Structure 1
Amino acid sequence: MRRRLTIFGAAALAVAASVLMFVRPADAAVGLHISGTDIVEANGQPFIMRGVNHPHVWYPGETDSFADIKAAGANTVRVVLGSGQRWGPSTDVANVISLCKQNRMICVLEVHDTTGYGEEGAAASLDQAVDYWISQKAALVGQENYVVINIGNEPIGNIDAAQWTAATVAAIRKMRSNGFEHLLMVDAPNWGQDWQNVMRANAQTVLDADSNDNTVLSIHMYAVYNTAASIVSYLDHFEANGWPLVIGEFGWRFTSNEVDHETILAEAQARGLGYLAWSWSGNTDPILDMVLSFDPEQLTTWGERIVNGANGLRATAREATIFGGTVPTTPPATTPPATTPPPATTPPATTPPAGGGCTATYAIVGQWPGGFQGEVRVTAGSSAISGWTVTWTFANGQTVSQAWNASVTGSGSSVTARNVGYNGRLAAGAAATFGFLGSWQGTNGRPSPTCAAS
């Protein structure tokens, strides 16, 4: 229940009257705002975030990425900024907003310096993050239709996570008292993952702190959420309580103990929750890069999954109506999107056959003791195909444990991979990729796959 102010005496009537003069009616919302559990635009049209994170503060010259992210199908980009305590300061906020608007994407702006406060000694407080937003107010006011302010990234670590509630309440109130009308986003503690359920237990207190009733909660899902049950249970609790939520960051299951990204994508789509995958490029550990070296022509297995996979960007993203209407981004069934060339570690693709049929190339895109990540690129010949089957034989005892974007089976050293429903039909010269996790001992030689089209 929302806080109520009890006032006594005749003076109370005067105060109440003055308050009423300044309360914004619910039907006069400014820009993006919360309606129930949904994010809606000023015109009341629901908006579901489908996008990625972009590490702008560390790579401020990679401004072409905004257009590349849009071309991948995103309707939202979460932009990493710095307040100056650890990174930045980012003083190009106006330009960042302009790039978002030019590329017809909603802009979620976040201060990254707060990451792990209380456990990370160099981290900024949420109060310092609010001071940064106040310093950038001139660039933000008037952009409420286009901008969501994510006050601070993962603002509390694992030490004294309970401090999150008071710090977040104070930050929201300070933003509002300084005149910000934007939709606010607040990240969970425990480095964003809320494994101690502090945000879950105190969500209503935080939402009640917003005099504009215009805050959305954000959960970051990594290894804490490595089972479907853990994901569904967490999301169920927020849905049952009517609390607005987005999945502000998440990764993928590149090993068996990592996040169950397939469940996240499916549940987000089924529940109408926004999601923002981490991240476009530039990670020191490139396993979480969607493209390599900011090159959209080097889409990784993770990038392929988010861009072209089931419940991914192209299949589910809808452009905000502020840009001219809801525009489906799913390609026509007869013309699937061509996937990008393989990473530099992939052997050059062979020349497609002159007639129908297909070719396949095999690459190892990541390797560690006892395990590896493989990727296979399937390319149609000079005629369209309606399906494909790739086979190969391991020479060194390797095995496949998990696969994406293909149905993979094995018998001894022989492996067979068949297309799934959304990537079998390829136009002439078009390509699809699938990835997998495998095990190896001693030697991890590359087999030579063959491809048969149907």
Structure 2
Amino acid sequence: MKRRLTIFGAAVLVVAASFVVYAQEASAAVGLHTSGRNIVEANGQQFIMRGVNHPHVWYTGNTQAFADVKALGANTVRVVLGSGKRWGPSNDVANVISLCKANKLICVLEVHDTTGYGEDGAAATLDEAVNYWISQKSVLVGQESYISINIGNEPIGNNNPSQWTAATVAAIQKMRSNGFQHLLMVDAPNWGQDWQNVMRDNAQQVYDADTLKNTVLSIHMYAVYANAQTIIDYLDRFQNNNWPLVIGEFGWQFQSGEVDHETLLAQADARGLGYIGWSWSGNTDPVLDMATNFNPSQLTTWGQRIFNGAHGIKATAKEASIYGGAASPSPSRSSVSASPSRSASTSASPSRSSASPSRSVSGSASPGGGRSCTAVYSVVGQWPGGFQGQVTVTAGGQAVSGWTVKWTYAGGQTVTSFWSADVTSSGANVTATNVGYNGTIGAGQSTSFGFLGASGSTNPVPTATCTAV
């Protein structure tokens, strides 16, 4: 669950010019474990997490989600659980693990009740989260090759984030003293974003506190990661010190000022870093849903981007070898170009949005030099006074090198922000043209762009037309 942090949109991470590189010992634990800055399986094969978060504790009946995210290419699912302090208690952990194994997914299990402790008075402590894991020990032991235990989600807010180090060290040590050999994952303070660099500056101390040397640190990238250099500087610090790291949650650049997900994905791919996007479905803020109403056939622009885009899940994920998967690909050594500096805060909460079912109208354009395309306009979510739209552009019988989509609103709607296209309006008339990375579409292939809009009491769906070049 995210908390808006707009005041930190311009936060700057100060990174020293040179670093001491610490050589980490290989973990002595069984199953999934760390080796240097990598996660490896029991056989020593590297495993790079490529997955999504699933809000299981609020949608316990939606178990189809495990099969759906696997079918889209994920190799990991981070499962939201409750300790009983705020949500839950989740007493179906054995079934969750079975679902992950049946769908050949690595399971990251996390207690969400700790979110924002010290700032949110209802939050649980990390020690209380450990007590929950102890209560579930009988179903966790023996599953070390299939699961990682994320002790507590975003365990410290913005009040006194320095308490994170001692609390995290104590939680790790309590887990080990109670016999857990699993790969442990620990989230950063500052609602997971570490904008005051407490986790960054104390990473070695936390890692050394684990007698099994089997802890991976997790950063959540939202508002603070507003530009490419901020992301690169933060990731450089961990890589240069050989500290194991995953990007345990992140959002996307759905409007100016939002997280620079393009740089994030490209950097993670180039460095061999795991990432787990937020989230599959069910957010109060529907722009963060990857699938509308948990329906994999209704992927949003965010869902299309993380599953099907460059450096996305389908292109980079490899199944864990425990399930018979081949070795993960080596990280790309080519230079990674940063996308424009745009990102800000984002918010997700357990209550479900009032997104309406997808509605669409197709329109085809006159062919240009034998090239043609069609456009499908869809309303993928709406709320009083506003909505989220998506347009899917499909090339005809020949590849296209550019496209323009037009439509006219009949209900007084206006486009307020947009992504993956350049959008202009003149009264009720709207024109969208491709951006640099999605103008070329193969014959019969598709791309999509999205936008947020304002609407009145009605939101009629316009007919969209497409022209190709």
Residues 299 and 343, structure 1, Cα contact 8 Å, conserved in 2: no
Give the distance between the partners of 2:66 and 2:236, measured in 1 at CA.
33
Structure with the higher helix share, 1 or 2: 1
Please state whether the residue corresponding to 1:224 is helix, strand or coil: coil
Give the distance between the partners of 2:328 and 2:239, measured in 1 at CA.
26
Name the % identity: 64
Residue equivalent to 1:9:
none
Please state whether the residue corresponding to 2:184 is helix, strand or coil: strand
Amino acid at match of 1:321: S
Give the distance between the partners of 2:407 and 2:134, measured in 1 at CA.
61
Residue equivalent to 2:393:
378
Give the distance between the partners of 1:303 and 1:210, measured in 2 at CA.
36
Q: Is residue 403 from structure 1 mapped to residue 424 from structure 2 by the alignment? A: no
Please state whether the residue corresponding to 2:192 is helix, strand or coil: coil
Residue equivalent to 1:20:
none
Please state whether the residue corresponding to 2:224 is helix, strand or coil: helix
Residue equivalent to 1:54:
54
Q: Is residue 392 from structure 1 mapped to residue 406 from structure 2 by the alignment? A: yes
Amino acid at match of 1:347: S
Unmatched tracts of structure 2, length 5 or more = 1-19, 330-354
Residues 216 and 244, structure 2, Cα contact 8 Å, conserved in 1: yes
Change (3 A) 1:65 1:399: closer
Residues 398 and 438, structure 1, Cα contact 8 Å, conserved in 2: yes
Residue equivalent to 1:238:
238
Deviation of 1:230 (Å):
1.5
Change (3 A) 1:156 1:27: closer
Residue equivalent to 2:464:
449
Deviation of 1:392 (Å):
1.5
Deviation of 1:236 (Å):
1.3
Amino acid at match of 2:357: A
> What is the number of residues matched between the two proteins?
414
Residues 148 and 182, structure 1, Cα contact 8 Å, conserved in 2: yes
Residues 32 and 183, structure 1, Cα contact 8 Å, conserved in 2: yes
Please state whether the residue corresponding to 2:159 is helix, strand or coil: coil
Deviation of 1:432 (Å):
3.6
Residue equivalent to 2:193:
193
Change (3 A) 1:439 1:327: farther
Residue equivalent to 1:424:
441
Residue equivalent to 1:280:
280
Q: How does 1:62-73 map to 2 (within 5 A)?
A: 62-73=62-73
Residue equivalent to 1:218:
218
Q: Is residue 248 from structure 1 mapped to residue 248 from structure 2 by the alignment? A: yes
Deviation of 1:390 (Å):
3.1
RMSD: 3.4
Deviation of 1:439 (Å):
8.8
TM-score, length of structure 2 as denominator length? 0.79
Deviation of 1:391 (Å):
2.7
Give the distance between the partners of 1:173 and 1:452, measured in 2 at CA.
62
Residues 422 and 433, structure 2, Cα contact 8 Å, conserved in 1: yes
Residues 388 and 451, structure 1, Cα contact 8 Å, conserved in 2: no
**Which is worse superposed, 313-322 or 370-379?**
370-379
Residues 360 and 390, structure 1, Cα contact 8 Å, conserved in 2: no
Residue equivalent to 2:177:
177
Amino acid at match of 1:216: V
Q: Is residue 415 from structure 1 mapped to residue 426 from structure 2 by the alignment? A: no
Residues 413 and 453, structure 2, Cα contact 8 Å, conserved in 1: no
Amino acid at match of 1:38: N
Amino acid at match of 2:442: R
Residue equivalent to 2:32:
32
Deviation of 1:43 (Å):
0.9
Please state whether the residue corresponding to 1:212 is helix, strand or coil: coil
Residues 403 and 437, structure 1, Cα contact 8 Å, conserved in 2: no
Q: How does 1:52-451 map to 2 (within 5 A)?
A: 52-326=52-326, 344-349=357-362, 357-365=372-380, 373-379=388-394, 383=397, 385=399, 389-392=403-406, 402-404=418-420, 408=422, 415-418=431-434, 420=437, 424-427=441-444, 431-436=446-451, 448-451=463-466
Give the distance between the partners of 1:193 and 1:397, measured in 2 at CA.
35
Residues 423 and 432, structure 1, Cα contact 8 Å, conserved in 2: no
Residue equivalent to 2:14:
none
Give the distance between the partners of 2:130 and 2:232, measured in 1 at CA.
33
**Which is worse superposed, 208-217 or 360-369?**
360-369
TM-score, length of structure 1 as denominator length? 0.82
Deviation of 1:242 (Å):
1.4
Give the distance between the partners of 2:27 and 2:186, measured in 1 at CA.
24
Residues 300 and 343, structure 1, Cα contact 8 Å, conserved in 2: no
Residues 46 and 327, structure 2, Cα contact 8 Å, conserved in 1: no
Change (3 A) 1:416 1:288: closer
Please state whether the residue corresponding to 1:375 is helix, strand or coil: strand
Deviation of 1:351 (Å):
9.2
Unmatched tracts of structure 1, length 5 or more = 2-24, 330-341
Give the distance between the partners of 1:207 and 1:197, measured in 2 at CA.
16
Deviation of 1:234 (Å):
1.1
Change (3 A) 1:411 1:346: closer
Change (3 A) 1:327 1:294: farther
Deviation of 1:450 (Å):
2.0
Question: Which structure's CA Rg is the greater one?
Answer: 1
Deviation of 1:361 (Å):
2.2
